[in-house]
A and B are shown apart, each in its own frame.
Chain A
Amino acid sequence: MATAETVLEHGVHEHDGTDSWSGGKEPFKASYGKLMMWYFLLSDAFTFAGFLIAYGALRFSSNTWPVPDFVFSTAPFGIHHAPLIFVTIMSFLLIISSVTMVRAVQEGHRENKNGVVFWMLLTVLGGLGFLSCQAWEWTNLISGEHMSVTVNPFGSHIQDGVYIDNEHGHPYKEGETPETFKAGSSYLIHKHLDEATGHQEWIQRKVKYSDGTMGVTEFGPAAFGALFFFITGFHGFHVLSGVVFLLIIAVNAGSGLYVARRNGYEMVEKIGLYWHFVDLVWVFVFLVFYLL
């Protein structure tokens, strides 16, 4: 079993006069670890806010921006044209895992070891489910729709108009009705295999705008891909580290380490704060990338 040295956390050696938390009175009536977790989360909030504000500034600086419910309308098992459905399921996974985390903290206050481990493992499952969904979403965008950090095949029209060739880039045959589009609607530039060169080539369709000018479907703002992969990737990395720490703390809880500390499973409370923060950040990532 744990020795006295491993049981005590750094910073809670009482009254030996060598520790910064040894004044006998806790600042803000919070333990050292919990207060520092709050301040870490505050700094992390600023990091995320920096990224999201950069997203907003770049979006405001572009004349067109891909419509999210067009970009994110694919779900596993061959579902297409289901705007935002898959990402709503991802949000629910995080909300549910947040709730199971609250339950783990509550069981900790009652010193119920098995309850803590049970609810923490459910939280880990929720986190892994979210990460799997994100892995699928990324795979679909990268290999299915050819979006990358530097290339954004999702563009938007700025005027009403009509396509003058079909989806494969061939002129319409006699009797075919050309596809029309409205200002603001988004399109995806597909790729096709060029048999002469053996390479995948982009099909940029020819269009005729309502003012009579001709054009081709152009790539959307390149920043969209970079911002999407960087910000959702950074959030996903937080989820991944959260899952790792949840597992470590669940193992510690199961081993009886926190029973010996007799502080109401405070470590579970601290990882709980982190986990709720990950959910909190997702609220805003969900808002700016998918809802607006």
Chain B
Amino acid sequence: MAARHKGVETKYYEARDGVLRALRNCDRRTFLRISAATMGAVLAKGLMPPHTFQLVEVAGASTAPEIGKGFAGQGASGERPFTFAYISDAHLYERTLNQRFVRAIVKAVDDVNALDPQPDFVLYGGDLAQLGEPSQLELGRQILMGLKAPVKMMVGEHDWFLDLGEKWQELFGPPTYSFDWKGVHVVVLQSVYEADFWTARKMTAEERMQTVAGLDNAVQSRFEVGDKQREWLKNDLAKVPATTPIVVFSHSPLYKYYRNWNFWTEDADEVQAILKPYERVTVIHGHTHQMLFNQIDNISFYGMLSTAWPWPYAPEGLPKLTVQMNRADPFDQFDGCGDGQATTSAEGVVDKIYNLWDRNPVTVKASYLRSFGKVDRPPEPQFASY
């Protein structure tokens, strides 16, 4: 190209490289002058310095909260409402390879740590790693240890298909569990099992992982909760009264949105049938990287934002109740990404805040979904999908 047009991130890296180069060969007096000038510029712009300069190495496991061990039984019943936060879909590579995604999840951790009061817990929504490598999962664990609130972990397909969950489970425990919290029954599912497509194709573990990591290939199978886990869910709910509010976390949406991209759970209808007897059910899922909500019978569904990148809305199948988020600005790394909070009301239904970075947050109330769109419609986007 004739002219060089650079993104904020590229310019930032170049500026940083320049500063570091200058620092490498300057005396003390020059160093002080550069420091003063830098601080002056920062103050003049009213900016805090960007996150990357403050990348915090989290201290060792001994002082950090235990991740994935849960706190089942700590919650007394009948203490609604309460708030929980989420961070999801960080898709981490090794830090040395990719700083961009590291910077994004650290930003989310900072966001959540800044909440006052602190949420009761933080749900991590899956896809901590990009390609399931132990080093990627360990890096993610280290970053999440920086959270002040207790963390509940959920697994995504990017965490799973290199070693079929071995490393993830070693770090975070079983992928399927439930607990009661302040009168709400909370279930975390592993919704991204896939029928074996790799053995017949003689794929290596890496090839299997790479295939699942792509959305738009027809090679992989569809996500499913599976017979065994559905049986577990039935048993788990058997002791829960129909009046108890239920919150289900799943990585994939527990309904059928768009099959080609696995915005989809093959046995979603069967799972929904298990949840049918309960009056107030909220499903919160990752994977789709966009503002996404739906209501099917008694079940309200909310998608989570990704910290790493937003996904376009699928060409078909978008739930009617979903109000699209504005198109993301590709020139802004953080646009269309973010994290979020959810608050259970006294009735046990869940309002959700989409904390979209660099934009106004969008609140989607349970009343909007439960009235099938009659009240409390969220603000419309200025620019929907092409």
A binds B: no
Q: Which residues of B contact A (CB under 8 A)?
A: none
